[in-house]
Structure 1
Amino acid sequence: MNSSQENPNIDLAYQKAILGSVSRTFALTIPLLPPAIEVVVGNTYLLCRIVDTIEDAAELSPTEKQHLSKLFLDAVLGDIPVTAFVTPCLDALRGYSNVDELDLIAHTPTVLRILHTFQTRDQKAIGRCILIMSSGMSHFHHRQNQYGLKDLVEFEEYCYVVAGVVGELLTTIFGHYSPEFAKHIRGHEKLALAFGQALQMTNILKDSPEDRARGVSWQPAQMSQAELLQIAYEKLQDSLSYILLIPKKEIGMRRFCFLAFGLAVMTLEKIATRKEFSNKSELKLSRNTVWIFYGCTKLAASQDFLIKSFFYAASSRLRALWVASR
């Protein structure tokens, strides 16, 4: 038995450190959650990030991506030893440039050890999420091309398997932690999908220049940026409703969702001011903007009026596009 198995704190310290290396945004938002679910959500993010790393590896063929995704899923579900995934994955990605993501893959055993400390119901929900995400991405590996997805239906399906399912998982975890939230969300579960999909649509639009440069598009063919922004605005409206269903006393859960939501709103608003852009750096929110908004969430997250006011003030161009389409 190695030292990290003897001391779970070493595993948790790695999780916290690598989270800060692979995602500045989620390293900011996840610690806002109550401690009882912060570790669960952080661990889930890292598992999803491994799936994303395989997806983003331009040097891999669709068949190689499918194979590695299947190995990862089998390792998460306990059907194969974790080394049966890690060794071939690192070998296939030996030319991959992101050293932090490679380090995360090398530490897949650490991430899975943490997963196995969670309550059975949380482990089951996370397993379902990774199953849908991994299987769904494998389905789309052979569909990636420079022209985009077939239509809006396929685009919605893609957004579901890469992000909508994460919205479902968050809702399950939040509901396990807060019976009051579980009661509020009952009958409104589709809002959870919209929350995840809104964040994913932001990423797809923001990353489109880099995707085009590697001969890939995840946008629906024959749909303009303006049309996609109109759909994103509708998802944001549903996301707002989702946040407002979180009990006001659950300030950490509200801040977590409101911060991610707010950054997406401000990024999409910047996109709406441009007919085109050549690099996602043009859309990057300044460090000052992020930290000011971070501070504002502490006050605003418990006030429905302030959350609604922010959305109204920060999405004027998006709203104008949406109204024009009615």
Structure 2
Amino acid sequence: MNRLSQGVKNLQKEAMHVLKLTSRTFYIPISLLKPTLKRTVASAYLCMRAVDEIEDHEQLDSETKQHLLRSTSELLKRKFDNDAYSQLLDPYKSLLPEVTIRLGEWITVCPPEIVDKIKESTSVMAAGMADWAEKDWYIKDKEDLDNYTYYVAGLVGVMLSDIWEWYDGTTTDRELAIGYGRGLQAVNILRNQEEDSERGVHFVPDGWTRADLFEYTEKNLAYADAYMKDISTRNILLFCRIPLALAKKTVKALQGGREKISRNEVETIVEEIKNE
């Protein structure tokens, strides 16, 4: 094996390591994918997580977030200039996590045939997040909630649909894919509602009760069920079913007054899906 290919292999291993540190929930289904899909979806997830960490950062002010996100969005629209990106982040490198700082490396992990799609989706996400930072994340109605959840999660569904189609021709409904992403994000909003409120962020539309938010979440998770009906590739289906099953179990736990599901419950759900 030559030095270049060994370097690529090492970077792929590092990507999976950072993925595990960044999101244990998504690490599980991604690690079960076949090699080409694993490499592609890991790269895509890390690219989107890189910009998401900027939007969520508690020590960066809104103007800084807007600047970083919009500038990153522009860099992703062409051949990625890692030096320019490094200069952009330089004043904030001590604050930003590894997954954000190494965005350029996650792009190189992705197969060249699909990388432009990944960059495009991540660029749109970063720009949308910047717009919501400018609005101070004030969500006044369902239309706003749909818009916000599209940029932070629905786009993940669209990007995954692009990957499935590139991989083996699997064609899925993009609107249902957006609903899948929205459903997962809505579960996060439910889980973190009190914590978000304490830090002055309100992702729930004016006048909505918690019951309204549960209804919104379950409606979008139903779209996720419909989304998977178009998928016949077992490996892709396995990937899609795990986050959805965990989300549904979390909704039930929240309705029962629990904050989250246990690690044991997660492991049980994953094993059941793997063995079906």
TM over 0.5: yes
Q: Which blocks of at least 5 consecutive residues in structure 2 are unaligned?
A: none
Task: Check the 8 A contact 1:58/1:214 in 2, yes or no.
Answer: no
Give TM-score, length-normalised by structure 2. 0.92
Which residue number corresponds to residue 125 of structure 1?
A: 117
**Counterpart Cα distance in 2 of 1:204 and 1:34:** 31
Superposed, 1:59-138 pairs within 5 Å as 59-78=59-78, 81-92=81-92, 94=94, 96=95, 102-115=97-110, 117-119=111-113, 122-138=114-130
**Counterpart Cα distance in 2 of 1:4 and 1:225:** 53
**Counterpart Cα distance in 1 of 2:29 and 2:135:** 32
**Aligned to 2:217, which of 232, 255, 259?**
232
Provide Cα deviations, 1:24-58, integer angstroms capped at 9, x if missing partner.
Answer: 11111112223221111100111111111101112
**Counterpart Cα distance in 2 of 1:50 and 1:132:** 13
Which residue number corresponds to residue 175 of structure 1?
A: 165
Deviation at 1:6, TM superposition (A): 7.0
Tell me, yes or no, if structure 1 residue 52 matches structure 2 residue 44: no
Letter in 2 for 1:140: W
After superposition, the Cα gap between the structure-2 partners of 1:104 and 1:195, relative to the gap in structure 1 and judged at 3 Å, is same
**Counterpart Cα distance in 2 of 1:31 and 1:79:** 28
Superposed, 1:159-238 pairs within 5 Å as 159-179=149-169, 181-182=170-171, 185=172, 188-238=173-223
Superposed, 1:133-152 pairs within 5 Å as 133-144=125-136, 148-152=138-142
Aligned-pair Cα RMSD in Å: 2.0
Deviation at 1:79, TM superposition (A): 5.8
Secondary structure of 1:104 counterpart: helix
Secondary structure of 1:59 counterpart: coil
Provide Cα deviations, 1:266-296, integer angstroms capped at 9, x if missing partner.
Answer: 111122223xxxxxxx522111111111110
Letter in 1 for 2:155: V
Q: Which blocks of at least 5 consecutive residues in structure 1 are unaligned?
A: 275-281, 301-326
Tell me, yes or no, if structure 1 residue 263 matches structure 2 residue 246: yes
**Counterpart Cα distance in 2 of 1:118 and 1:37:** 13
Provide Cα deviations, 1:195-250, integer angstroms capped at 9, x if missing partner.
Answer: 11111111111122222222112221221110011111111111111122211xx2
Deviation at 1:4, TM superposition (A): 6.9
**Counterpart Cα distance in 1 of 2:203 and 2:93:** 22
Task: Check the 8 A contact 2:180/2:220 in 1, yes or no.
Answer: yes
Letter in 2 for 1:220: P
**Counterpart Cα distance in 1 of 2:40 and 2:228:** 20
After superposition, the Cα gap between the structure-2 partners of 1:59 and 1:72, relative to the gap in structure 1 and judged at 3 Å, is same
Which residue number corresponds to residue 311 of structure 1?
A: none
Deviation at 1:130, TM superposition (A): 1.0
Deviation at 1:5, TM superposition (A): 8.2
Deviation at 1:128, TM superposition (A): 2.1
Letter in 2 for 1:298: K
Which residue number corresponds to residue 36 of structure 1?
A: 36
Letter in 1 for 2:73: L
**Counterpart Cα distance in 1 of 2:51 and 2:100:** 10
Tell me, yes or no, if structure 1 residue 272 matches structure 2 residue 255: yes
Deviation at 1:67, TM superposition (A): 0.7
* Residue-pair matches, total: 274
Secondary structure of 2:60 counterpart: coil
Tell me, yes or no, if structure 1 residue 292 matches structure 2 residue 275: no
**Counterpart Cα distance in 1 of 2:15 and 2:44:** 11
**Counterpart Cα distance in 2 of 1:90 and 1:200:** 30
Task: Check the 8 A contact 2:242/2:269 in 1, yes or no.
Answer: yes
Secondary structure of 2:140 counterpart: coil
Letter in 1 for 2:250: T
Give TM-score, length-normalised by structure 1. 0.78
Letter in 2 for 1:113: T
Which residue number corresponds to residue 277 of structure 1?
A: none
**Counterpart Cα distance in 2 of 1:299 and 1:233:** 26
